[in-house]
């Protein structure tokens, strides 16, 4: 099994089916994030993640991930926010 790092190398679907959250903690399959990360998300972003998989999901997931990275300080705030 190859070691991968970061969401940038994973497709959203791979990540969704993974049992490891972006933060390194355990999560359930088909859940976008672990409970700890999920709780950090604003309600509006949580609801957005419940949307059926489709055109909008990648953007919603990406948005939530960027938010988490910013909140947790996982990365310097180098990404461009497009809200
Ligand atoms: Zn997490």
* pLDDT tens sequence across 38-48: 999 999 999 88
Helix (H) / strand (E) element for 30: namely: none
CA of 8 to the centre of ligand 1 (A): 16
Comparing C-alpha atoms, which of 67, 56, 57, 4 is closest to residue 30? 57
- Between the CA of 33 and the centroid of ligand 1 the distance, in Å, is 5
- Note whether residue 53 is domain-resident: yes
Q: What is the pLDDT along the chain (83 residues), one digit of tens a residue?
A: 455 554 444 577 788 889 999 888 999 998 989 999 999 999 999 988 876 666 678 888 889 999 998 888 765 544 444 44
- Whole-prediction pTM value? 0.67
Rounded distance between C-alpha atoms, residue 67 and residue 81, angstroms = 9
Residue from 9, 15, 14, 13 nearest 37 by CA: 15
Q: In degrees, to the nearest 5, what angle opens at C-alpha 28 toward C-alphas 26 and 31?
A: 115
The answer as to whether 23 is a domain residue is: yes
CA–CA gap between residue 32 and residue 53 (Å, rounded): 11
Q: Is residue 77 part of a domain?
A: no
- Tally of domains in the chain: 1
33: containing domain: 7-72
């Amino acid at each position: 099994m190859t070691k991968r790092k970061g969401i940038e190398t994973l497709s959203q679907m791979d990540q969704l089916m993974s049992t490891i959250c972006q933060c390194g903690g355990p999560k359930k399959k088909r859940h976008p994030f672990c409970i700890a990360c999920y709780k950090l998300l604003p309600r509006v972003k949580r609801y957005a993640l419940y949307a059926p998989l489709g055109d909008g999901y990648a953007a919603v997931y990406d948005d939530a991930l960027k938010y988490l990275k910013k909140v947790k300080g996982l990365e310097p705030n180098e990404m461009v926010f497009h809200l």
